Structure 1
Amino acid sequence: MENTAGMNRIIILGAAGALCCSFFGAAFCDPGSSGAAFLRFSPSPRATGMGEAHTAVSEDAYSVYWNPAGLALVEAPSLAGAYNSSFEDMQTQYFAAAWPLEYGSTLGLGISRFAVSPFQGYDSLGVRTEMVDASGLSVGFAYGKTFLKDEIARPVLNAGAGLKYISSRLDDASAGAFALDAGALYTFRPASYRLFNMPAQEYSLALAVRNLGTGLKYDDDTTPLPSAVSLGVSWRSHPKENARLTVSLDNVLQAGDGYYLAAGAELTLMDLLSLRAGWRSGQDEGSGIRAGLGFRLAAVDLDYSISPFGELGNMHKLGLSMKFGRPKARHPLAGETGRAAGGAVVASTESVQGLEAYAQDFLALAQKDLDARNYAAAAGNMRKAFNIDPQLGAGEWGDREKRLSAVVAGLRLAEQPDRGGFFAPGRDQPDTAAASVTAYLEKKELKALLLAHAAFGADIRGPALFEEFLSIMSGLVKMPVRPGEILPLKALVAKKLETSEKKFLLRDFSAAARECEEALLLDEENALGWKRLGSSYFGLGDKAGARNAYEQVLRLDPADASVLRFMELQGWR
C-alpha cells in the first residue's frame, strides 16, 4: 500500500509537470528569440558531464541555478565555483554558496559572470569600426525548504524559489532585468522492491522553472530572457557496497533552444571517483555527447567536464566545491543509533557510512515498534533497513524479521490493523502474549509456547485472537498444544511445581526436573522452583547443576536455612 501510494504521488506530480510544460510551451519554443544567452550555459561541471540532466539530481550549492528545491538537501555550509573556457574566446565564471539555517531549510547565493574578448565591430553598412566587447552578470538569492519527511527524517517533498538580477552589455549599450526561478522535488524510496536487485534505491521527480522575467531592454528594443521549464526524473541505487549509480533524464522547453531532451549517468566508486557521461539533443554543432570526472578529496571536490561542439571546438569546465562548518542535519533518533552517538551530527547522505546509518535508524524504529507492540510496523521497518543494507538481512535482524513476519502473517495484523490493539499493554492477557512474541523472536521456542498457553488461559472467554495465537505459535515452534496447561500464568507455574513434587516423590527425577525447568521459563525469580530443580538435579546425580540451582535460591532468599545447611554438608560453602 505504501509503495502504491508513493507511485501514485509520482504519477500526479508527473502529470502536473507535463501540464506545466504544455502551458509554457508557446513561450519557450521559439528558437533564437532570447537574450542573455549566457544563462543557458550550465555552470556545474557535474551537471554538464551528465548531459545537463540535473533537475532531479541537484542537491548542492549549484541548486541555485538548477532547481532551488535541491537546496533543502544541503547538509552543511557549502561553496562552489566553476570556470568555463569556451570557443570564440568566451569565458564564464560561476560562484555559488549554500547556508543551511537548519536541515531542510537553506539559503543560497548564485553569481554568474560572462565575458567575451574584444572583437571586430561593423556598422550597418558592413564597414569595420572599432573593437567592441560584451559581458553579462547575474546575481541572485534562493531558498529551499523541505515540506515532507519520511520516518527517519529524510526529505521527501522539497520546494524552493529564487530571485535574481541580470545585466547585459554590448559595447556601450546595456540592459537589466529581474527574473524568478522556482522548483519542486519529490523523492520516493520503496520499502522492499529492488530493481536489478540493487539496494537503497531512490526515485525522484522534479519540476523547475528558470529565468521567468521582464526581458532585457536595449534602448527601445526588449529581448526576452532564456526562460525554461524542466521536468526531470532520476534513479539512484548502490550496485555494490562502495559504489553509487545515478541515472537521470530531463525534458526541457527553453526560449532560444526550443524543446530538447537530456540524459545522463554517474557512477561513483569508493566515495572518491565519479565517472559521468550524458547526451543532449537539439545541438546544432557536434553530437551532443558530454563526459566528465569528479574527485572527492579530503577538503574539496574537483569536477571536470568536456562538451564537443564539432568544428567550433570543445567546451571545458572546471569546478571546485567544498563544505565547511558543522552539518545542520540532526536526527530525531540522535543518541539512539551509531549514526548520532552522543548527539553528534549525522554522516553525509552521499557516503556508504550514511547508508549504514539510515539502515540503523530504521532498525531503531523497528525496536521502538516492538517495544510498543506494533508488530506489523516493526516488520516493515526491518525490511526498509534491509533494503538499504542487505547484509543486515543475513544476520540476527534478518532472523528476527522472518520470525516476526510469520507472526504478523498468521494473525493477519497487516491486513487487519485493529487486531494490533489486542496487544495493548496493561492487562495480563496481552502482556503475556507480548512476552510470548518476544521469546519467539529470541529463539526461545518452548518458552514462547508456554507463554502462549498462559495468554489464552488468562481469559479463555476473552477475544478469540488469543486462542488463534496459541494455535499459530504451536505451528511456528512445531510443538503440540497442551490442553491441560491452558491456565493463567501464575496458575500454570503453580501446577508445574506441584507436578514436579509428585514426580520427585515417585523418584522420577528427570520428569521432576523438566517440570521445574518449564516453570522457571515462566518465572525465573521463583525460589521454590529453583529449590526443587536443585533437588531433582541432585537426584539425577548432576551435582554441578544442583549447586547452581541452590545458589539461585540463595540469591533470591539468602536466609533459606535448609539450603544453607545442605550446601555446607556438601562442602559447597
Structure 2
Amino acid sequence: MGKMIKKIKNCGILFILILHFAFLIVNCCYSQNISGLYQDAMNAFYNKDYKKAISLWEEILKYDPSQKNPPKLIEMARSKMKNKVNPLLNEFHSQLGKGNYTIATEKIRELLDIDPLNQNFKKIATKLETVVSSLTGSLTEGGKINNILRKSIIGYVVGLNDERLPVLASRYAFQVESGNKLAEKIFLFMDREFPSIARLEVSEKGKNVIEQKLAVILDDIYDGKYEHALIECELVLQIEPDNVMGWKRLGSIYYALGKRSEAKVAWEKALKYDPNDKEIAKFYKKIK
C-alpha cells in the first residue's frame, strides 16, 4: 500500500513537472511570436509601409491586449500617413457637407484603403452606405429645409457636439414642410436609429422643435439654469443659425453668466439678422 501511495505521489510530481515544462514552451513561443511581430512591425514602419506596421501592432494587441506600446506606435504610424489622409479627409467632409453622399462614400473607401483598420473610418463608411442605400445618394439642392436635412445626416454619419441633432433637425424639417417626402423619410429613419432620444425629446402639440426649445430656454433663464439654457440655445442655433430669438437668448445667457464679450457677439449676430429689432439694440447698449 505504501509503495502504491509513493508511486502516485511520484506520478503527481511528474505531471506537475510536465505541465510546468509545457507552460515554459508555450510562454517561450508566445514571447517569440510577440518579439517577431514587433520586429516585423518596426521594419515595415522604417520602410514607410505604415499600413502593414499598423496591422502587425494590431495583431500584437490580439495576442496580448495589455501591451502598452502598440497603441502609441499605431498613433505614430497614423501621424506619418497624414499627408495622404488629410487631403482625402477634407474632400470627404466637403462632399458630405454639400450632400454628395455617393462621392463622400468613395472618399471614405479611399481612406480605408490607406488605413483599413481605422475603426472611425469603418463606422463612418457603414453609416454613409446606409444613408445612400436607405435615404438618398444626393441632397445638393439649396433652401432652408435641405440645409437642415443635411445637418441631420452629418450628425448621423460623423456625429456632432449634440447627439440629439440628427433626430431634432429632421423632426423640425418635417414639421416645417410636412409634405416633403424626403424630410419625412429622414425624420422616420432618425427616430428609428436613435429611439431613446426620440422617446425623451417629446413633441409638444402646437409647437415645432425650435419654438419648444426657445420656450425651455426662456424658462431656464428665469430659473437661473444658465448652463442648461446654453446647451439648448446652442442646439437651436446649430439647427437654425439665423434664428434671431436664439441669438438674443444666447446673449442674455452670456450676460447673466458675466461673459460680456460673448454676450456682445451674440447680440451683434441677432442685429445682423434683424437690424430693426429695438429690443436687441437696447440689450446691446448695456455693454457697448
Which band: TM-score by shorter chain?
0.5 to 0.7
Is structure 2 residue 222 aligned with structure 1 residue 497? no
Note closer, same or farther for the CA distance 1:362–1:438 as it changes in structure 2 (3 Å cut). Answer: same
Please give the alpha-carbon distance, in whole angstroms, between the structure 2 residues aligned to 1:555 and 1:363. Answer: 31
Question: 2:258 corresponds to which residue?
Answer: 543
Question: 2:173 corresponds to which residue?
Answer: 455
Is structure 2 residue 105 aligned with structure 1 residue 379? yes
| Amino acid in the other structure paired with 1:551 | V
Q: Secondary structure of the equivalent of 1:240?
A: helix
TM-superposed deviation, 1:374? 3.6
Question: 1:240 corresponds to which residue?
Answer: 44
Question: 2:123 corresponds to which residue?
Answer: 402
Question: 2:186 corresponds to which residue?
Answer: 466
TM-superposed deviation, 1:462? 3.8
TM-superposed deviation, 1:538? 4.8
C-alpha contact (below 8 Å) 2:148/2:169 kept by paired residues: yes
| Amino acid in the other structure paired with 2:214 | L
Larger gyration radius, structure 1 or structure 2: 1
Which residue, out of 533, 546, 549, partners 2:250?
Answer: 533
Is structure 2 residue 235 aligned with structure 1 residue 518? yes
| Amino acid in the other structure paired with 2:247 | W
TM-superposed deviation, 1:519? 1.9
Give the number of the structure whose residues are more often strand, by fraction: 1
Question: 1:426 corresponds to which residue?
Answer: 142
C-alpha contact (below 8 Å) 2:88/2:111 kept by paired residues: yes
Question: 1:218 corresponds to which residue?
Answer: none
| Amino acid in the other structure paired with 1:518 | L
Question: 1:307 corresponds to which residue?
Answer: none
Could you report, residue by residue, the CA deviation over 1:468-515 in whole angstroms, capped at 9, with x for unpaired residues? 33224525xx63343416999xx5334422443345446655654444
Please give the alpha-carbon distance, in whole angstroms, between the structure 2 residues aligned to 1:358 and 1:565. Answer: 50
C-alpha contact (below 8 Å) 2:148/2:239 kept by paired residues: no
| Amino acid in the other structure paired with 1:470 | M
Note closer, same or farther for the CA distance 1:435–1:485 as it changes in structure 2 (3 Å cut). Answer: farther
| Amino acid in the other structure paired with 1:456 | F
| Amino acid in the other structure paired with 1:519 | V
Could you report, residue by residue, the CA deviation over 1:411-466 in whole angstroms, capped at 9, with x for unpaired residues? 4x34x6xx425734235444322122224425332333321222332334543522
Question: 1:484 corresponds to which residue?
Answer: 203
Q: Secondary structure of the equivalent of 2:160?
A: coil
Give the number of the structure whose residues are more often helix, by fraction: 2
| Amino acid in the other structure paired with 2:148 | T
Q: Aligned ranges for residues 304-323 of structure 1 at < 5 Å?
A: none
Off by >4 Å, runs of 4+ in structure 1: 355-365, 485-488, 505-514
Please give the alpha-carbon distance, in whole angstroms, between the structure 2 residues aligned to 1:429 and 1:527. Answer: 17
Q: Aligned ranges for residues 178-197 of structure 1 at < 5 Å?
A: none
Note closer, same or farther for the CA distance 1:429–1:502 as it changes in structure 2 (3 Å cut). Answer: same
C-alpha contact (below 8 Å) 1:432/1:455 kept by paired residues: yes
TM-superposed deviation, 1:378? 2.1
Note closer, same or farther for the CA distance 1:468–1:480 as it changes in structure 2 (3 Å cut). Answer: closer
TM-superposed deviation, 1:400? 5.4
C-alpha contact (below 8 Å) 1:436/1:452 kept by paired residues: yes
Q: Aligned ranges for residues 177-326 of structure 1 at < 5 Å?
A: 240-241=44-45, 242=47
Please give the alpha-carbon distance, in whole angstroms, between the structure 1 residues aligned to 2:283 and 2:115. Answer: 52
Note closer, same or farther for the CA distance 1:474–1:535 as it changes in structure 2 (3 Å cut). Answer: same
Q: Which runs of 5+ in 1 are unaligned?
A: 1-238, 245-354, 568-572
Please give the alpha-carbon distance, in whole angstroms, between the structure 1 residues aligned to 2:227 and 2:87. Answer: 47
Please give the alpha-carbon distance, in whole angstroms, between the structure 1 residues aligned to 2:205 and 2:136. Answer: 22
Could you report, residue by residue, the CA deviation over 1:277-325 in whole angstroms, capped at 9, with x for unpaired residues? xxxxxxxxxxxxxxxxxxxxxxxxxxxxxxxxxxxxxxxxxxxxxxxxx
Could you report, residue by residue, the CA deviation over 1:218-254 in whole angstroms, capped at 9, with x for unpaired residues? xxxxxxxxxxxxxxxxxxxxx935267xxxxxxxxxx
Please give the alpha-carbon distance, in whole angstroms, between the structure 2 residues aligned to 1:435 and 1:474. Answer: 15
Please give the alpha-carbon distance, in whole angstroms, between the structure 2 residues aligned to 1:381 and 1:404. Answer: 9
User: Percentage identity across aligned positions?
Assistant: 18
C-alpha contact (below 8 Å) 2:92/2:108 kept by paired residues: yes
TM-superposed deviation, 1:553? 0.7
Aligned Cα RMSD in Å?
Answer: 4.1
Please give the alpha-carbon distance, in whole angstroms, between the structure 1 residues aligned to 2:237 and 2:284. Answer: 21
Please give the alpha-carbon distance, in whole angstroms, between the structure 2 residues aligned to 1:532 and 1:365. Answer: 35
Note closer, same or farther for the CA distance 1:366–1:537 as it changes in structure 2 (3 Å cut). Answer: closer
C-alpha contact (below 8 Å) 1:363/1:385 kept by paired residues: yes
Note closer, same or farther for the CA distance 1:537–1:381 as it changes in structure 2 (3 Å cut). Answer: closer
Q: Secondary structure of the equivalent of 1:484?
A: coil
| Amino acid in the other structure paired with 2:203 | G
Q: Secondary structure of the equivalent of 1:425?
A: coil
| Amino acid in the other structure paired with 1:240 | A
| Amino acid in the other structure paired with 2:185 | L
Q: Which runs of 5+ in 2 are unaligned?
A: 1-42, 50-80
Please give the alpha-carbon distance, in whole angstroms, between the structure 2 residues aligned to 1:492 and 1:521. Answer: 12
C-alpha contact (below 8 Å) 1:433/1:451 kept by paired residues: yes
Which residue, out of 562, 569, 572, partners 2:282?
Answer: 562
Greater length-normalized contact order (CA 8 Å, ≥ 6 residues apart) = 1
Please give the alpha-carbon distance, in whole angstroms, between the structure 2 residues aligned to 1:486 and 1:470. Answer: 20
Q: Secondary structure of the equivalent of 1:480?
A: helix
C-alpha contact (below 8 Å) 1:359/1:384 kept by paired residues: no
Please give the alpha-carbon distance, in whole angstroms, between the structure 2 residues aligned to 1:486 and 1:472. Answer: 21
C-alpha contact (below 8 Å) 2:167/2:191 kept by paired residues: no
